[in-house]
Structure 1
């Protein structure tokens, strides 16, 4: 799996820890870090979302202070779903139910050890388009197409 990752300055520390984890994981074939010294959370979010749409990455992780700003910005890119998640239920739901391509986390909200444990689970999660939630995603896509 190819993972795009990024963060502005207020998420860089956690992003770096997650990046190291991903680089050492056999399930991950590539880690693409979009972070730069002065990147803003909207810029890195738009770039990560576009990287997924362009087929350069399969999923992504964005880190800011709370995870909310990156999720809002990334979700503005047509065809991308980003979810803020800091616990097992929301991490599982983000993929299994909502097929979110981007996981957003907040450096000020979650301890690195907990974030790493959730990312470990996240890598194995899959969405079933035949599930009841698959129909809900179709409903959302139909609204977006209007």
Structure 2
């Protein structure tokens, strides 16, 4: 898989730890920054990663900020993105199986590198559980999105 990853100044250290880990798992990584602790705005990085995902240039995206909250809010404003903020392994698996998430948000100040790596591994390896129950719910999410993105 090809993964786009982006972080702000509060998440770039964790990003720098997980990029080689993702590569060791056999995935290609496109690192979109940030690369320093200089203050930047997380919506810029969320937008860049999500653009790559919705365009099909990458298969999935990972976003990291201090808590993951800002990144997940910004990401979910992009039509076609289903981003989940995850801090445990059960949620990492469930969000792929049930919600078919295409972007993962993590908080550097909330979880350590070891937990982040475990979450990423589970999230990347878990497939969506196709079937009428979960697909119907995803379609309902898409309908809500379409309702609010239609131009007058």
Q: Fold match, TM over 0.5?
A: yes
Corresponding residue for 2:122?
Answer: 121
Q: Mean alpha-carbon deviation: is it higher for 38-47 or for 51-60?
A: 38-47
Query: How high is the TM-score relative to the length of structure 2?
Result: 0.89
Aligned residues: 144
* Unmatched 5+ stretches in structure 1: none
* Unmatched 5+ stretches in structure 2: 148-152
Q: How does 1:1-146 map to 2 (within 5 A)?
A: 1-26=1-26, 28=27, 30-36=28-34, 37=36, 39-146=40-147
SS state at 1:10 partner: coil
Aligned-residue RMSD, C-alpha: 1.3
Q: Mean alpha-carbon deviation: is it higher for 39-48 or for 126-135?
A: 126-135
**Distance change >3 Å, CA 119–CA 131, structure 1 → 2:** farther
Instruction: After the TM superposition, list the runs of 4 or more consecutive aligned residues in structure 1 that deviate by more than 2 angstroms.
Output: 36-39
Deviation at 1:8, TM superposition (A): 0.6
